Amino acid sequence: MSSNVVVIGGGAAGLAAALKASEEKCDVTLIERDSDVGGVLNQCIHNGFGLDYFKKNLTGPEFKEKLKEKVLSKSNIKIKSGAFVHSVEKDKNIVFIDRNGVNNLKCDSLVITTGAKERPFTSLGISGKRLSGIYSAGLAQKFINMMNLRPGNSALIVGSGDIGLIMARRLTLEGVKVEGVIEIMPYPGGLQRNIKLCLEDFSIPLYLSRAVKYVDGDRRVNKIITTKVDDKFNHIGGDDITFNVDTLVSSVGLVPNVKPFEFLEHSAGFSTTNKNRTSENWIFSAGNSTVVFDLVDYVAQEGEKAGYMAALQAKNDLSPAGKIKLLPGKNIGILYPSYIEKDYESKIYLRARQPMEKGVLLIPELGIEKEFEDIKPSEMIKIKVPAFDKNTDRIEVNLNELK
Amino acid sequence: MIAIIGAGVTGSLIARELSRYEKDVVLFEKNFSAGRGVTKSNSGIIHGGYDDPPGSLRASLSRKGNILYTELSEDLNFRINRCGSHVVAFEKKDFEYINKLVKYANTNGVKSYEIIDREQLKIMEPELNGNALGSFFCSDSGVVNPWNVAVSAVTNLQKNGGEVYYDKKLIRIEKINSGFRLFFEDGTQYEADLVINCGGLFADEIAKMAGDIVPEIFPVKGEYYLLKPEKTLTNSVIFPIPDENTKGCLVTPAIDGGYLAGPTAKKVLSKYDNTNTEEGLSEVRTRAEKLVPNINFRKDPVKTFAGLRPETEEKDFYIDVGNSGIIHVSGIRSPGLTAAPAIAKYVTEYIIQEKLGIKLTERPDFDPKNNVRIIDSFETLEEMNSFIKEHPDAGEFVCYCNKVTKYEIKKAIEQGARSIEDIKFLTGASFGECQGGYCTGKIIEIMLQDKRVKPEDIILNEKNSWLFSSEVRI
C-alpha cells in the first residue's frame, strides 16, 4: 500500500489536514484508531464549536459531520478506522494494525494529529483511599453522552478546565447533584463563557485556590475533604470544606499524545515550525498533539495548514528552510509554534502565566509591540506575523503587565 | 480435600505445588481474584537473598526461591526481569554494612555479587546520585508483577484439577473427626482433611479461629509512586543502605515499563488502611530524589498507591503446624514474594511429608506448564499478523497505552474476571499512562455485550465498588 500523504489521527485537525491535502491533488490515507473519525468531538454534544472556522454555532458532532461529509466526498481520501499505528520507520513506512492484520503503508509525507489525553487524577499524589467513583471528565462525558450510563448521584468537579465546566452542567442536566467546582489556581482554568453558561446559570459554586486534601469512602467515594491553598499550592489549615458526594470528576489538564513518535523532537507536544514541520522534514503535526488549544476552530485551521504543507512536501514543492527558535520570555506559559521558518507567515498562539487587566506583547526581534486587555491564561492570545527577511537565530516573546 | 485459605502469592503457589501430588486441592479466597491483598501492592522484587540474617527461615527460603523463579516463570508463563540490584553506599561508614552483606551473601550461598566502585557504578547507573561511593551489586535480583505470579499459579492449579473459590471469607473453623469444617461468610461450609492457613495480614486471626497462637501480625504501610518511562532512570533495582526495619525506599524499573519509587514503612492500626498520605508520599519523593536526583515527581507520576506488609516482632516467617493440626504459613513479610516458590516446597516436602508424616506421591499426569497466556506477546510482526488472521479481535486495540487488544479482554472475562480491576490485573489494560481514561469505556462496552450484565452490576474491585448508579435514559 502507498499514499502521497498519510494522516494519523482523525479528529478535527486530522480531518482538516486530509481534506486540504486532497484538494492539493494528493492521494491521502487517514488512519484512525477508534471505530469512527471525529475524536473527542463525538462526545461533545454541547454547542460553541465552529464560530470561527464555519462561522456557525455548532455542536461537536455537527462540526465533525461537516468535515467528515467533505472528506467522504473526496475520491482520493481513504479512511482506515479501527487502525492502530505500531511504528513509523525512517524510510517513510508506516506500520499499522487492524482486524485484518499487520499492514505497511508507504508515504511521501506524514501528518500526525493524535490529539491529547487527560491527565489522570491518580497521578496527582493526593492522599486518601483508592475508591470507585473517580472519573476523568472526558470519561464521565463519554459514559453519559455515548454509553447512556450515569456515573453517580452527586459529584464534585476537581479542576475548572473547560471539560470540567461542561461536565458540571451536563451532570446537573442528567440529575446528578453537582456540589461545586474546585480549582487549585486563583483563577478559573476554562473559558469565561463556560463559567457563565455552565456554572453561574445553574448556581454551581466555583471555589478558587482550593485543592483535594483527602478522598474518603467505603469502596465507593462518599466524602471529599478540600482545603485552601497558598500561591505555592501548600495546604493552608483551618478552612476545610467537606463535600459529601459519591463521585469525583477530575479535569486537571490535557497531555499531548506523542506515542509512538518520541523520536521526533518534543517537549509536552511535538515541537513544530510555522509550517507545522517537526524535526523530520517529511513529518508534520498540528492540533493538540503540539500544544493544547482553547478552541477546536484553531485546531482545524492548523490541521488544514499542516495538510497543505504535507502536500507541498509530497510534491517536492516545499523547500527546507532555516528554523529560528521562538522562545517564551516573561509571563509566557505556552508558546506555539516552537520555530519559525521566516519565508512564511506565522500565527503565534500563546497563553499568559497569570491573568492581567492589560498587557503588552513584545517581540523585539520583529519590532512587534501590541497591547491586549483582559488577559486570561485560559484564553489564547493570537498574533499574525508576516514572512520576514531579518537574520536572527532566536526570537523572544514577552508579555509585560501594564498597570 | 486439602484446603488452602488465601490466594495470595504464597497460598496460590502452595496450592499449585500440592496439585503435583493431589487432585482434591481447593483454594479459598475472600477477594474476587488471586493476588489482590498483600501480593498486589509491594515492590515486586525478587531479592538476591544476600541480606537475610543467616540461619533464619527467611534466608534459606529466599535464596532457594530466587533460584526457583527461573523455572517457575517459564512453566507458569509470567515475565521476570533479572535486572540486578545495587545497595548503594553514600558515606564511608556505609561500607561496614556492605561488608556485612558480603558475609551474609557468602553464608547464604549467594555467589552472584560484586563490589562496584564509584567509576564502574557511574557507567552502570548514569542517573544515580553522583555522590554515590560504590555499591553491592547482585545480578540475580529482579522484578516481577507479583499478582501475575499468583494468577498464573491458580491457572496451573485449575489445569491440574484443583479448584479456586472466590468471594469466600472464612469466619469459623471447627475441628471434626475427619479433619476440619470451614464456615464462610456467605453461609457455605466445607469439610477438609487438611487446612493450610495462608491468610497474609489476617493469618494470625485465622490461627485464632482454630485455637492456635502464631506471632501477632501488625500491618506496616508502604507508600509508592509509579512513574512514566519517559527517560531511563535506573537499569537495576537501587536500594539505599537500609535502616533497622526495612530495606528502605528504593527506585526500580517496573516490569511493564516505567519506574517504581517507594516504599515507606509506617506501622498503622488498621489492616485495611491502604490510604496514601501527604507525609508518606513526600517521604518517598525526598528519599527517591536522593538516589536518583533527576526523578521528576512533578511531571512523571502515573499513580500513587499504598500496600500493607504483614510484620511480626520476630521479623521472620512462621511456618509450622499448630496444636489444632492446621498448618500456618504466617508472617510472610519481605522477602515473601521471593521465598514463595520455596515456601511451597517447604510446606509440601518438609511440613506435610516429614513433619506430619503424610506420604504424597507425585501424579504422573501433573502438568507444570501453562501454555495459555492472556497477554499476547509476539517475537515478530509476521507472528502477530498470522495470529490476527486467526483471531481478528487481536487486531482491535482497547488499551492504547499498554497495547491490550479486545482478544485479551474477552479472554480475561472468559477466565472469570468480574471487575474492572480483575481485567486490569490480568491484561495490563488501564495500567498505563492514562490510567484508563480511554479504555475503561471500551472495557465496559465489552462487558455489557453479555446481556446478563447490567450497568449497575459493574464494579471496580470489591463488592459495593459500583461504577454506575443507573442508565441515563431507559
Partner-chain residue, chosen from A122, A136, A150, that has the shortest CB–CB distance to B468: A150
Counting residues of chain B whose pLDDT is more than 90, the rounded percentage is 90
Phi, psi of A200 (to 5 degrees): -60, -45
Mean pLDDT along residues B271-282: 94
B301 contact residues in A (CB cutoff 8 A): 123-125
B389 and A120 in contact by Cβ < 8 A?
Answer: no
For residue A320, what pLDDT is reported? Answer: 77
A118 and B444 in contact by Cβ < 8 A?
Answer: no
Q: How far is CA A175 from CA A151, A154, A171, B248, B471, in A?
A: 11, 9, 6, 49, 11
ipTM for the predicted complex comes to 0.95
Pairing of strands A58-59, A47-49: antiparallel
Q: Which of A175, A224, A85, A132 lies closest to B440 in space, CA to CA?
A: A132
Does residue A132 sit at the B interface (CB-CB below 8 Å)? yes
For residue A369, what pLDDT is reported? Answer: 95
Catalytic residue list contains B86: no
Identify the sign of the CA torsion A117, A124, B427, B255. Answer: positive
> In sequence order, what are the residues at sequence separation of 6 or more whose Cβ sits closer than 8 angstroms to the Cβ of residue A357?
A373, A374, A375, A402
Q: Å from B383 to nearest chain A CA?
A: 10
Partner-chain residue, chosen from A102, A132, A146, that has the shortest CB–CB distance to B467: A132
For residue B23, what pLDDT is reported? Answer: 92
Which amino acid would we find at residue B141?
Answer: S
Between CA B370 and CA B72 the distance in angstroms is 10
Partner-chain residue, chosen from A121, A122, A151, that has the shortest CB–CB distance to B468: A151
Does residue A118 sit at the B interface (CB-CB below 8 Å)? yes
B444 and A151 in contact by Cβ < 8 A?
Answer: no
Does residue A253 sit at the B interface (CB-CB below 8 Å)? no
Q: Edge-to-edge strands of the sheet including A346-352?
A: A332-336, A346-352, A381-385
* pLDDT tens by residue, A308-335: 999 999 999 998 768 999 999 999 999 9
Number of neighbours of residue A36 by Cβ within 10 angstroms = 13
Contact status, residue A212 vs residue A225, Cβ threshold 8 Å? yes
Does residue A237 sit at the B interface (CB-CB below 8 Å)? no
HSE, side-chain direction, 13 A CA sphere, residue B30: 18
Is the pLDDT reported for residue A339 higher than 90?
yes
For residue A322, what pLDDT is reported? Answer: 83
Stronger pLDDT, B474 or B442, i.e. the higher one: B442
Which amino acid would we find at residue B465?
Answer: S
B304 contact residues in A (CB cutoff 8 A): 122-123, 125-126
Phi, psi of A159 (to 5 degrees): 105, 130
Q: Is B45 left (phi over 0), alpha (psi -120 to 50) or beta?
A: beta
A259 contact residues in B (CB cutoff 8 A): 400-401
Nearest chain B residue (CA) to A116: B434
Domains A120-252 and A323-403 share a fold: no
* SS3 of residue A156 by DSSP: strand
Mean pLDDT along residues A111-135: 94
Of B47, B86, B328, B391, which residue is the catalytic one?
Answer: B47
- Out of 3.40.190.10, 3.40.50.10860, 1.10.3230.20, 3.50.50.60, the CATH code matching A1-117+253-320 is 3.50.50.60
Chain B interface test: which of A126, A176, A214, A220 (most B C-beta within 10 Å):
A220
Contact status, residue A26 vs residue A40, Cβ threshold 8 Å? no
Nearest chain A residue (CA) to B273: A129
Nearest chain B residue (CA) to A213: B278
Contact status, residue B439 vs residue B430, Cβ threshold 8 Å? yes
Cell for B199? 491468610
Does residue B277 sit at the A interface (CB-CB below 8 Å)? yes
HSE, side-chain direction, 13 A CA sphere, residue A274: 22
Cβ-count burial B416-454 (b if 16+ within 10 Å, e if not): ebbbbbbbbbbbbbbbbbbbbbbbbbbbbebbbeeeeee
Contact status, residue A348 vs residue A397, Cβ threshold 8 Å? yes
A127 and B281 in contact by Cβ < 8 A?
Answer: yes
For residue B372, what pLDDT is reported? Answer: 66
Summary mean pLDDT of chain B: 95
Nearest chain B residue (CA) to A122: B303
* SS3 of residue B134 by DSSP: strand
Is the pLDDT reported for residue B453 higher than 80?
yes
Chain B interface test: which of A100, A129, A130 (most B C-beta within 10 Å):
A130
A127 and B278 in contact by Cβ < 8 A?
Answer: yes
Identify the sign of the CA torsion B308, B310, B314, B315. Answer: negative
Partner-chain residue, chosen from A33, A150, A259, that has the shortest CB–CB distance to B397: A33
Q: Å from B264 to nearest chain A CA?
A: 14
Number of neighbours of residue B299 by Cβ within 10 angstroms = 11
Mean pLDDT along residues A249-266: 95
A144 and B277 in contact by Cβ < 8 A?
Answer: no
A147 and B445 in contact by Cβ < 8 A?
Answer: yes
Single pTM value for the model:
0.91
Bridge partners of residue A155, in order along the sequence: A178, A247
Mean pLDDT along residues A274-295: 97
A127 and B275 in contact by Cβ < 8 A?
Answer: yes
Between CA B222 and CA B250 the distance in angstroms is 11
Q: Å from B400 to nearest chain A CA?
A: 8
Contact status, residue A103 vs residue A78, Cβ threshold 8 Å? no
Chain A interface test: which of B396, B410, B453 (most A C-beta within 10 Å):
B396
Between CA B221 and CA A38 the distance in angstroms is 45
- CB within 8 Å of chain A, chain B residues 406-435: 433-435
Between CA B372 and CA B354 the distance in angstroms is 34
Between CA A130 and CA A78 the distance in angstroms is 44
Q: Å from B369 to nearest chain A CA?
A: 29
Mean pLDDT along residues A87-94: 95
Summary mean pLDDT of chain A: 96
Does residue A45 sit at the B interface (CB-CB below 8 Å)? no
For residue B376, what pLDDT is reported? Answer: 67
Mean pLDDT along residues B400-406: 93
Does residue A225 sit at the B interface (CB-CB below 8 Å)? no
Cell for A148? 447512556
B281 and A146 in contact by Cβ < 8 A?
Answer: no
Cell for A313? 512536501
B397 and A147 in contact by Cβ < 8 A?
Answer: no
* SS3 of residue B216 by DSSP: coil
B302 contact residues in A (CB cutoff 8 A): 120, 122-123
A99 contact residues in B (CB cutoff 8 A): 388, 392-393, 395-396
Between CA B99 and CA B45 the distance in angstroms is 22
For residue B426, what pLDDT is reported? Answer: 87
In the numeric block, the cell 504483614 is attached to: B310
Mean pLDDT along residues A265-293: 97
Between CA B323 and CA B401 the distance in angstroms is 52
* SS3 of residue A200 by DSSP: helix
Confidence of residue B374 (pLDDT cuts 50, 70, 90): low
HSE, side-chain direction, 13 A CA sphere, residue B421: 21
For residue B109, what pLDDT is reported? Answer: 94
* Burial class of residue A95 in the structure, from the number of CB atoms within 10 Å of its CB (0-12 exposed, 13-18 middle, 19+ buried): middle
| Domain at A323-403, CATH class | mainly beta
Domain definitions of chain A by residue range: 1-117+253-320, 120-252, 323-403
**Fold topology of A120-252:** FAD/NAD(P)-binding domain (3.50.50)
Phi, psi of B392 (to 5 degrees): -55, -30
Does residue A223 sit at the B interface (CB-CB below 8 Å)? no
For residue A262, what pLDDT is reported? Answer: 93
Is the pLDDT reported for residue B188 higher than 90?
yes
* pLDDT tens by residue, B76-123: 989 999 999 999 999 999 999 999 999 999 999 999 999 999 999 999
Query: What is the residue-wise DSSP string for B62-129?
Result: HHHHHHHHHHHHHHHT--EE---EEEEE-STTHHHHHHHHHHHHHHHT---EEEEEHHHHHHH-TTS-
Chain B interface test: which of A100, A149, A214 (most B C-beta within 10 Å):
A149
* pLDDT tens by residue, B224-266: 999 998 889 999 999 999 877 677 899 999 998 899 999 999 9
> In sequence order, what are the residues at sequence separation of 6 or more whose Cβ sits closer than 8 angstroms to the Cβ of residue B127?
B232, B233, B234, B292, B293, B294
Mean pLDDT along residues A21-43: 98
In the numeric block, the cell 485449575 is attached to: B158
> In sequence order, what are the residues at sequence separation of 6 or more whose Cβ sits closer than 8 angstroms to the Cβ of residue A107?
A2, A3, A4, A5, A6, A29, A92, A94, A314
